[in-house]
């Protein structure tokens, strides 16, 4: 039912308590939001990070999307570094990540490629190359993200859901949140929308496009006799960093009847019920039909539906497919493409800026790009890179008393490079 078909209630005007004030407010604690919050705090700003669920990582952890695709350009050169690389280092220190060693990146060795395909790290069309992509453990990732946020001095608030930005004279003054104890507001000088779905910019009336998608629901199984043999026999999963375990990226065109709007509770309810039913049927099929699965068990179904796309900002610049390999003076991140070798996008600062709201920045999968570029910029490493850029911009804005929209991109690029982000191809 569209809004024009429904009756409306008139609500009484109400007062909302301002429970917190901060310089930088980050909405959403996924890969992008964590990177934004950490970068802003390390840039010297007072930062609050607010997340609706009880853990950090968003789709990367709760969606079981436990593959960082990719940190390279497909030709053996690393293009995403900075906080994403720091996260990989932290995970690797605890044996919670697997990736090919640097000397193998870009190689066309068939045995190495087959090894990495079994881990879900090589995609696209042949001829293939070894990529710098990373498989990781989701619970370890949640903990590593907690540590990064705490070490940076970010004030974290979980279990609060952003509902309405309160805007005045082209700026977001505060954001209203809903928690169990009621509605409250957080006032901020700069707001970063890292909600994945662009909840803040949509409610602020910023231009955007919306996509309907087929939802996914990834799951893991354990107790598989010989994971590599089962994968080679066509089981359809990937080995994870846990021994005897496989990740199943469940969800495909033929398995659920219709696309959904991932911002609609009714559509999400339909998808949650349908996908779970079909995942259970797939678990039964694997046990019944695939050698090696006789004593296998279901370890975990993702807490969150896998939503590839919902809202995309139409901001001060919309990065388009034609912009592949194009250089931008205001580029604040560079990403490769997980299915293409040698395809690189520079992401301009303007793709993080909505038109018409001067102190709002956007990071992660809902930035201003077209549908095709979104395939590249939605990946976890790219989301961390745009998060890092947005957070660094927010801190610079606060320190220089300038709105993000008026910030000098040169100064921002210099600061990002100083901090270890890669801006050169």
- Does 33 help bind ligand FAD (rule: CB under 6 A)? yes
Pick from 38, 49, 59, 357 the residue near ligand FAD by CB under 6 A. Answer: 59
- Does 82 help bind ligand FAD (rule: CB under 6 A)? no
Identify the residue whose tokens are 């008393």. 401
Per-residue contact flags (x/-) with ligand FAD for residues 190 to 219, judged by CB under 6 A: ----xxxx-x----------------x---
**Which of 19, 49, 51 minimizes the C-alpha distance to 176?**
19
- Does 53 help bind ligand FAD (rule: CB under 6 A)? yes
Q: Which secondary structure element, helix H or strand E, spans residue 90, and what is its range?
A: helix 82-93
User: Which residues neighbour 109 within 8 Å (Cβ) at sequence distance 6 or greater?
Assistant: 130
Pick from 64, 135, 307, 421 the residue near ligand FAD by CB under 6 A. Answer: 307
- Does 421 help bind ligand FAD (rule: CB under 6 A)? no
Neighbours of 297 (CB within 10 A): 11
Please identify, among the stretches 3-11, 287-295, 376-384, 409-417, the one whose residues bind ligand FAD according to the rule CB under 6 A.
376-384
Spatial contact of 218 and 120, defined as CB atoms under 8 Å apart: no
- Does 36 help bind ligand FAD (rule: CB under 6 A)? no
Residue 252 or 281: the one with the smaller Cβ distance to ligand FAD is 252
Nearest-angstrom CA–CA distance, 330 and 224 = 49
**Alpha-carbon distance values, 33 to 12, 175, 420 (Å):** 34, 16, 18
The pair of three-digit structure tokens given for residue 413, joined into one six-digit string: 């690029």
Pick from 106, 138, 364, 391 the residue near ligand FAD by CB under 6 A. Answer: 364
CB of 63 to ligand FAD, least distance (A): 6
What does 249-271 look like in DSSP terms, one character per residue? Answer: ----GGGSSS-B-TT-HHHHHHH
Per-residue contact flags (x/-) with ligand FAD for residues 308 to 337, judged by CB under 6 A: x-----------------------------
Which residues face 207 on adjacent strands? none
Pick from 38, 40, 48, 65 the residue near ligand FAD by CB under 6 A. Answer: 65
**Which of 402, 367, 55, 397 minimizes the C-alpha distance to 415?**
397
- Does 74 help bind ligand FAD (rule: CB under 6 A)? no
CB of 408 to ligand FAD, least distance (A): 26
3-state secondary structure of 395: helix
Please identify, among the stretches 13-21, 52-60, 100-108, 184-192, the one whose residues bind ligand FAD according to the rule CB under 6 A.
52-60
Q: Give the CA count within 13 Å in the CB-facing half-sphere of 264.
A: 15
CB of 253 to ligand FAD, least distance (A): 13
Spatial contact of 398 and 23, defined as CB atoms under 8 Å apart: yes
- Does 137 help bind ligand FAD (rule: CB under 6 A)? no
- Does 351 help bind ligand FAD (rule: CB under 6 A)? no
CB of 79 to ligand FAD, least distance (A): 14
> Any idea of the CA torsion for 255, 59, 343, 251, to the nearest 10 degrees?
-10
- Does 28 help bind ligand FAD (rule: CB under 6 A)? yes
The pair of three-digit structure tokens given for residue 44, joined into one six-digit string: 């010297």
Residue 20 or 287: the one with the smaller Cβ distance to ligand FAD is 20
CB of 120 to ligand FAD, least distance (A): 7
- Does 165 help bind ligand FAD (rule: CB under 6 A)? no
Please identify, among the stretches 4-12, 66-74, 286-294, 402-410, the one whose residues bind ligand FAD according to the rule CB under 6 A.
66-74
> Any idea of the CA torsion for 248, 249, 252, 257, to the nearest 10 degrees?
80
């Amino acid at each position: 039912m569209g809004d024009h078909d429904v009756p409306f209630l008139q609500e009484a005007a109400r007062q909302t308590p301002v429970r917190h004030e901060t310089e930088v407010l980050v909405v959403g604690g996924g890969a992008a939001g964590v990177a934004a919050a950490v970068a802003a705090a390390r840039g010297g700003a007072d930062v609050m990070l607010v997340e609706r669920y009880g853990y950090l990582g968003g789709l990367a952890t709760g969606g079981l999307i436990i593959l960082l695709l990719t940190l390279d350009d497909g030709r053996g050169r690393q293009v995403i570094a900075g906080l994403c690389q720091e996260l990989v280092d932290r995970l690797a220190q605890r044996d919670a990540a697997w990736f090919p060693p640097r000397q193998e990146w870009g190689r066309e060795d068939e045995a190495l490629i087959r090894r990495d395909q079994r881990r879900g790290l090589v995609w696209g069309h042949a001829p293939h190359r070894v990529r710098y992509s990373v498989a990781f453990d989701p619970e370890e990732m949640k903990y590593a993200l907690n540590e990064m946020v705490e070490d940076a001095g970010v004030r974290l608030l979980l279990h609060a859901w952003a509902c309405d930005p309160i805007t005045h004279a082209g700026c977001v003054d505060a954001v209203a949140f809903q928690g169990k104890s009621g509605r409250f507001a957080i006032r901020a000088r700069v707001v970063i929308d890292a909600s994945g779905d662009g909840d803040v910019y949509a409610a602020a009336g910023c231009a955007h496009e919306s996509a309907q998608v087929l939802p996914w629901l990834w799951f893991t199984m354990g107790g598989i006799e010989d994971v590599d043999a089962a994968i080679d026999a066509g089981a359809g999963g990937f080995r994870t960093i846990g021994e005897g375990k496989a990740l199943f990226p469940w969800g495909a065109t033929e398995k659920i009847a219709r696309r959904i709007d991932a911002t609609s509770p009714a559509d999400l309810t339909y998808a949650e019920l349908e996908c779970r039913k079909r995942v259970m049927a797939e678990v039964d099929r694997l046990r019944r039909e695939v050698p090696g699965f006789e004593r296998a068990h279901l370890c975990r179904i993702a807490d969150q539906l896998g939503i590839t796309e919902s809202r995309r900002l139409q901001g001060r610049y919309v990065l388009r497919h034609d912009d592949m390999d194009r250089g931008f003076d205001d580029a604040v991140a560079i990403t490769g493409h997980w299915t293409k070798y040698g395809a690189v996008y520079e992401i301009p600062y303007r793709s993080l800026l909505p038109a018409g709201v001067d102190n709002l920045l956007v990071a992660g999968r809902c930035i201003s790009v077209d549908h095709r570029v979104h395939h590249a910029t939605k990946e976890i490493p790219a989301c961390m890179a745009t998060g890092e850029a947005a957070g660094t911009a927010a801190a610079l804005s606060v320190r220089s008393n300038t709105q993000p929209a008026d910030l000098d991109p040169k100064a921002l690029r210099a600061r990002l490079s100083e901090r270890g982000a890669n801006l050169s191809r």
